[in-house]
Amino acid sequence: MTFPILSVLAIAAVALYLFFTERLRMDVVALLVLVSLALLGLVTPAEALSGFSNEATIAVASMFILAAGLENTGALSGLGRLLTKSRSPTVFLLVLFALLTLTSPFVNNTAVVAVFIPIVISASLQIGLPPTKALIPLSYVSQMTGVCTLIGTSTNLIVNSVAKDLGHRGFSMFEFAGLGALCLAAGCVYLLTLGRWLLPERGNTDLSALQESGHYVTELRVTAESACLGLSVEEAQFAQQHQVYVLELWRGEEKMWSPKSQQLQEGDILLVRGRWSRLQKLQEALALQYHRAARRQEKNALAGAEADEQPGDAQPLVLAEIMTAPNSVLVGHRIPAVERTLPRQSSILAIQRRGQVVRESLDTVRLAVGDILLVLMPEGELARVRSNRNAIVLSERSAPLPKGWRAPFALATMVAVVLAAALGVTSIAIAAVAGALVMVLARCVELENMYDAIDGRILLLMAGLLPLGNAVSSSGAAQFIVDHTLGLAAAWGPHVMLAALYLMALVLGELMSNSAAAVLLTPIAFSTAKLVDADPTPFIVAVAFSASTSFLTPVGYQTNTMVYSAGGYRFADFIKVGGPLNLVFWVVGVAFIPVFWPFHP
């Protein structure tokens, strides 16, 4: 083993460990990979920085702006409202799959799922279908349809870019469509039959239970008028009568031990947990105050904020469920800091965290991906919060309606971008940049919001990892890996090698970033093809399809994380439903990839 091979393998192994353990953010890991490759002389400075000017990176950045234009104008939610016309669960799922087939191949699936989540929850409840039967299919089918085009996922663009750097001809816009359609059909049949049976039925199908997906933790303040003043928690029957559970009690700066036996005094702060409807009934019955809302009102009064308002400025306040989006800049920040980014008069009342009971003051809680906040805010400000990619508003009633001519204009712009790239009028990157510019000029995306629409973490991840693909190939690491792993099955022929490579990509995609798996395995696909004297195209396609889909865990793909929190699923639900679906994709892929791209054309 040579020094370059050992160095590249060591860098890849450390990156895999950091991706798996999440000790550092993905984009930081990618930059560490880039710097390490350059300092060790494994790539030239020009090669190390080539990812920032790569067509794939530029195309993905532009696609974020295009997706924001469709979302901001209400074009996506306008399509999603077709779901409300369904009259049976089967028709509902078929319409959902059809809408995703029209949108996800061309629009970032994270944006599509963010728009569709509240619509799917509300529409499914209206026909008596538990949302848990629809949200996992929403995530899975958005991934299935995304692999049907070259721009459907950033992973497809990365695989195409690395393959071209290694001498491959590259892929056209709809070259994946035939195989993608077969995999989509097989996946949809599975989700409508066995998958539908495996999906959990947790949750109330009554529309009034829309906000009852889980238990919230909030802080309640005891006032002079509170009915529980002078009583202990047990005597006030928080749990017995209201099914609300007291977690902690603070008296001033002091945390009281054995909170249930303490006699409650004016100013005490109770950290309580329960379903929101029961928390509201408790608050009203015992004349308690939501501590955070009351504190903000007091601060506003002291600052004279209320005196500055005009009589007509007051807006009705509404409760909104807002979920922390994947890759959100809010992740890791404390709740008070997040609250300062919200519109004026807004207060974060409670938090819901999957798989964990919050037992600390809300002021000290740091947000994690998938946390759901219950926010009291002016009704007119919900639209502005919806346009922020860092948060996902789960309250369907405030979803934006199509805005005049801009909604169809945004759709037409997206169609023009796709046609220009598909017909060879210009490259995908130039077509996407032109479309993004048109969206901004037409104010489908406001100029000041343009950069907010772009997920910088994804771009840095791509730019940092793309040089790794060159290093894995040029150092001989790809051939070394193949010789000592996949090469052991070379005697069985290219079909077995293809199946093994697909399975390897599937496993790595679950353990690390999809983009990282694609960059690492595309050179290995070339070396595998060389070993069996076959065309590399079928092996590259196997990497693209397996790395672009992740069904097994809620953390394997961004859309899985989104529906995991919104639907109140358990981790095991994804394993139970996604495991067989991975097997279906593996079988269909291995069987039909050589049909579309023969080993020996």
- Write out the E strands in 39-169: none
Asked whether residue 377 falls in the same domain as residue 269, the answer is no
Domain count, the chain: 3
Boundary of a domain, candidates 398, 428, 452:
398
Boundary of a domain, candidates 347, 370, 398:
398
User: For residue 384, is it within any domain?
Assistant: yes
Give the tokens for residue 29: 């890991």
Asked whether residue 50 falls in the same domain as residue 166, the answer is yes
Q: What is the pLDDT of residue 308?
A: 46
8 Å CB contact between 413 and 439? yes
Q: What is the pLDDT of residue 210?
A: 41
pLDDT tier, 65 (very low <50, low <70, confident <90, very high otherwise): very high
User: For residue 305, is it within any domain?
Assistant: no
Q: Look over the chain and give the mean of its residue pLDDT values, rounded to a whole number.
A: 86
* Domain span including residue 62: 3-203+412-596
**Lowest mean pLDDT across 102-111, 206-215, 234-243, 411-420:** 206-215
Asked whether residue 354 falls in the same domain as residue 258, the answer is no
- The residue assigned the tokens 């995999």 is 183
pLDDT in tens, 90-135: 999 999 999 999 999 998 888 888 888 888 887 887 788 888 999 9
Asked whether residue 337 falls in the same domain as residue 457, the answer is no
User: What are the residues facing 317 on neighbouring strands?
Assistant: 378
pLDDT in tens, 321-353: 888 887 788 888 999 998 888 877 788 989 988
Asked whether residue 55 falls in the same domain as residue 105, the answer is yes
User: For residue 428, is it within any domain?
Assistant: yes
Asked whether residue 39 falls in the same domain as residue 164, the answer is yes
**Lowest mean pLDDT across 241-245, 269-273, 447-451:** 447-451
Asked whether residue 423 falls in the same domain as residue 570, the answer is yes
Q: DSSP letters of 202-227?
A: -S--SGGGTT-SS-EEEEEE--TT-T
Cα(325)–Cα(331) distance, integer angstroms = 9
* N-term to C-term CA, the chain: 34
Asked whether residue 219 falls in the same domain as residue 363, the answer is no
User: For residue 104, is it within any domain?
Assistant: yes
Residue 381 has pLDDT above 80, yes or no: no
User: For residue 407, is it within any domain?
Assistant: no
Residue 147 has pLDDT above 90, yes or no: yes
8 Å CB contact between 413 and 434? no
- The residue assigned the tokens 């702060």 is 269
Asked whether residue 351 falls in the same domain as residue 428, the answer is no
pLDDT tier, 319 (very low <50, low <70, confident <90, very high otherwise): confident
Q: What is the pLDDT of residue 403?
A: 54
Instruction: Give the SS3 label for residue 402.
Output: coil
Asked whether residue 426 falls in the same domain as residue 564, the answer is yes
User: For residue 406, is it within any domain?
Assistant: no
Asked whether residue 246 falls in the same domain as residue 185, the answer is no
| Nearest CA-CA partner of 71 in 422, 363, 446, 432 | 446
- Alpha-carbon 98 to chain mean position: 21
pLDDT tier, 207 (very low <50, low <70, confident <90, very high otherwise): very low
Cα(389)–Cα(114) distance, integer angstroms = 9
Asked whether residue 255 falls in the same domain as residue 325, the answer is no
Give the residue, 378 or 81, on which the prediction is more confident.
378
Question: Considering the chain, what percentage of its residues have pLDDT values greater than 90?
Answer: 44
Question: Considering the chain, what percentage of its residues have pLDDT values greater than 70?
Answer: 93
**Residue 344 CB coordination number (10 Å):** 12
- How many angstroms separate the most distant Cα atoms in the chain? 85
Q: What is the pLDDT of residue 173?
A: 93
User: For residue 416, is it within any domain?
Assistant: yes
8 Å CB contact between 148 and 178? no
Boundary of a domain, candidates 398, 427, 450:
398
User: For residue 181, is it within any domain?
Assistant: yes
Give the residue, 299 or 282, on which the prediction is more confident.
282
Whichever domain contains 236, its CATH number is: 3.30.70.1450
